[in-house]
Amino acid sequence: MPFELSVATEFSAAHFLRGYEGDCARLHGHNWRVRVFVLANDLNSIGIAIDYKRLKQELKAALSDWDHYHLNEVPPFDTINPSSENVARELFHRMTDRLRGDGVEVSRVEIGETCATCVAYWESEGSKEY
């Protein structure tokens, strides 16, 4: 797929890490930084793969039940730790579902809890678990 596009945003949420020995075991918050990347093979009749406006709308919608919430109380994080890694994987799956049929494929998701920390999640062919 020759084209890769991305959009970025932030959301605010609190969390704590169950079973963690350290400061992150206590409730704390972040302005989570998010970037979603999509791949496209083809362009439409006006030369775009997908409208950035659509990507931004879908990303905002995918984050709506996390923004300004305590993640440990929101599924699936009420049963799995809301680590950056798990948040990135869950957002990857949400965006994949939201963009199905739009002619693009989510290639990766990056999540940062701070300006100095970031995790990227992607799936190689055959590794999909959902």
Helix/strand/coil (H/E/C) assignment for every residue in 35-67? EEEEEECCCCCCCCCCCHHHHHHHHHHHHCCCC
Q: What pTM was estimated for this model as a whole?
A: 0.93
Q: What is the mean pLDDT of each run of 10 residues along the chain (130 residues)?
A: 93 98 97 98 95 98 98 98 98 98 96 95 70
Q: Structural domain of residue 18, as residue ranges?
A: 3-121
Identify whether 130 is part of a domain: no
Identify whether 127 is part of a domain: no
Please report, for the domain that includes residue 38, its CATH number.
Answer: 3.30.479.10
- Output the six-digit token pair for 120: 């990227």
Identify whether 82 is part of a domain: yes
Identify whether 129 is part of a domain: no
77 in helix, strand or coil? Answer: coil
Q: How far apart are CA 16 and CA 35, in angstroms?
A: 22
- Output the six-digit token pair for 25: 């075991």
Question: How many domains does the structure of the chain reveal?
Answer: 1
